[in-house]
Amino acid sequence: MPERTDSPTMLEVQLMPHPSSPESPIDSLTVHLERDGLALWLRFVAEGRMPGVVWPGPVEPGRTDDLWRHSCFEAFVEADGGYVEYNLSPSGQWASYRFDSPRQGMRSAQEVATPGELDLAQDMLALETRIELPNGARRLGLSAVIESVDGSFSYWALAHPSDKPDFHHPDSFVLELP
């Protein structure tokens, strides 16, 4: 179970690297979240040696595919009829996909993400975003793909239920939505 710090209105959880991930320039990855009806505010905070990470540069915000091929943050929301995956890039781009079951029935989701503030320093990066939750949203999985300048990738999540990184695994959705 992920480490969780609760307050009346906000949750804070820690992501952990998959055991098979190589050493990463990231030392810790924290997510702050707060629910507001059918929306969820998220703030991903990565701490470590930021010059060692390949962060996508700023571009025109909007919906874009294949964000997970580079450093990005992700949210998976279990809901009625399957789940929705959100990809959130430090570039300002985002994507959302609906699935009927693990990796089955993929299509663009109606739910959108609204990129927010990005803070970048030598020892941290913080990305805020707001996502629209699907009807019947129940459980949440949070994750990140971190690309290092040496070309390696580390995979971070609340839980790693399989021997390979798999953010779509149903047992990765371990957080009950507030």
Tokens of 55: 């962060």
- Tens place of pLDDT for every residue, the chain, 178 residues? 444 444 456 899 999 999 999 999 999 999 999 999 899 999 999 999 999 999 998 888 899 999 999 999 999 999 999 999 999 999 999 999 999 999 999 999 999 999 888 899 999 999 999 999 999 999 999 999 999 999 999 999 999 999 999 999 999 999 998 7
CATH number, domain at 99?
Answer: 2.60.40.1190
CB 169 within 8 A of CB 102: yes
How many folded domains does the chain comprise? 1
Rounded Cα distance, 138 and 160, in Å: 19
Instruction: Round to whole Å and give the CA distance between 67 and 91.
Output: 9
Q: Of 149, 14, 161, give the one whose Cα is nearest residue 71.
A: 149
Could you list the beta-strand ranges (E) of 54-108: 62-63, 72-79, 82-88, 93-99, 107-108
Where in the sequence is the domain holding 35, given as residue range(s)?
4-176
Question: pTM of the predicted model, to two decimals?
Answer: 0.93
